[in-house]
């Protein structure tokens, strides 16, 4: 049985922050990533939480990400913001952009943020949920190193490329939070199974010839299975257009892996659209969303995307999070080194 220790969200944030700073990350870059790590653990997405801190630290040390980077913001058009992440962490670049994106969306009705020369942004829904909590409809896109082969092909061309939609609710939390990748499952889950030596379910990944496999190592060398077949490939191409082509970032076929130390900075991108619902629907937006949500919740056992995360988040705030002891030991060794 896996040993765990229960940590509060503040303890998770502090541990993450100290580890990142210990390997040479500036405090300005470490803090937003540490905050996001705690929030990710609270939402129950362990594959993108503390488990990733040693990887982030390794990437700072090998130069895959610049821990001292200073992102640069520009406003090339009235409702358009761009940020050059300067091969640093995406979280600091997103924070810089969001500081202006939110008020700009309220004044213009809609505004966009394009980020290039970036890195893995973790859980995309974490970022769009922040827009929803500010009363804005948030759409987010982020591309990743190629891991999905096109329909009829066997060589990866696009990444797992998630998109996210966060819709503000009446209680200040997102009423709907869609956060899904173009693949059947996030690649990090296959990597997690590979580290643990566990087989993966059929339908998660394909081998080099495009055949289903239950071996995570084979799947990582082959292709992630697109969600819904050709429809998943379509989603991946949509995200690639939004997050890479529209931002001027690196295409997934040219980006270095988010795992391992080879290849230098991936220089991928993120794209966010923030919409003020009052500008398009006036006072009709909130009751329409509430009616839509109620139509789902009124059915036995039915749930909306994001409901599970919301429940886990509330429990975590009160009870803390059970974290893998081995992961904590790795992080504590980084801090003590």
pLDDT in tens, 190-229: 888 988 899 999 989 988 888 899 999 998 888 888 998 8
Q: What integer is the mean pLDDT of 221-248?
A: 94
Interatomic CA distance for residues 88 and 65, integer angstroms: 5
Catalytic annotation present for 240? no
Check if 48 is active-site.
yes
d(CA 216, CA 307): 29
Q: Do residues 235 and 255 touch, judged by C-beta distance below 8 A?
A: no
**pLDDT surpassing 80 at residue 332:** yes
The pLDDT value given to residue 285: 97
- In this predicted structure, what is the pLDDT of residue 278? 97
Annotated active-site residue 297? The verdict is no
Which of 41, 48, 91, 227 is catalytic? The answer is 48
pTM: 0.94
> Of residues 47, 79, 154, 256, which has the active-site annotation?
47
CA 204 to chain CA centroid, nearest Å: 19
pLDDT for position 1:
67
Task: Check 147, 189, 193, 227 and give the catalytic one.
Answer: 189
Delineate the domains of the chain, giving CATH numbers in brackets. Answer: 1-62+307-337 (1.10.1530.10), 77-183+226-305 (3.30.1370.60)
3-state secondary structure of 7: strand
How large is the average pLDDT for residues 111-120? 98
């Amino acid at each position: 049985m896996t040993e765990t220790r229960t940590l509060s969200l503040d303890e998770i944030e502090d541990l993450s922050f100290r580890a990142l700073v210990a390997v040479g990350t500036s405090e300005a870059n470490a803090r937003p990533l540490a905050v996001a790590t705690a929030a990710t653990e609270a939402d129950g997405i362990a594959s993108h939480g503390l488990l990733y801190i040693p990887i982030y630290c390794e990437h700072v040390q090998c130069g895959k990400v610049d821990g001292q980077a200073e992102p640069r913001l520009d406003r090339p058009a009235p409702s358009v913001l761009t940020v050059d992440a300067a091969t640093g962490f995406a979280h600091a670049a997103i924070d810089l952009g969001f500081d202006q994106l939110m008020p700009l969306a309220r004044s213009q009705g809609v505004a966009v943020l394009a980020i290039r020369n970036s890195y893995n942004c973790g859980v995309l829904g974490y970022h769009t949920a922040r827009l929803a909590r500010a009363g804005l409809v948030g759409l987010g896109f982020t591309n990743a190193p190629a891991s999905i082969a096109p329909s009829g092909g066997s060589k990866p061309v696009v990444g797992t490329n998630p998109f996210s939609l966060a819709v503000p609710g009446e209680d200040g939390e997102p009423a709907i939070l869609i956060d899904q990748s173009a693949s059947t499952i996030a690649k990090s889950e296959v990597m997690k199974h590979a580290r643990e030596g566990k087989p993966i379910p059929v339908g998660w990944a394909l081998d080099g010839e495009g055949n289903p496999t239950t071996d995570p190592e084979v799947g990582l060398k082959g292709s992630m299975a697109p969600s819904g077949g050709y429809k998943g490939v379509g989603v991946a191409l949509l995200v690639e257009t939004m997050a890479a082509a529209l931002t001027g970032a690196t295409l997934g076929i040219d980006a270095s892996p988010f795992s391992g130390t080879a290849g230098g900075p991936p220089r991928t991108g993120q794209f966010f659209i923030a919409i003020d619902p009052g500008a398009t629907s006036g006072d009709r937006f909130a009751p329409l969303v509430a009616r839509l949500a109620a139509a789902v919740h009124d059915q036995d056992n039915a749930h909306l995307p994001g409901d599970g995360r919301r429940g886990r988040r509330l429990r975590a705030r009160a009870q803390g999070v059970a974290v893998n002891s081995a992961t904590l030991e790795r992080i504590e060794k980084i801090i003590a080194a």
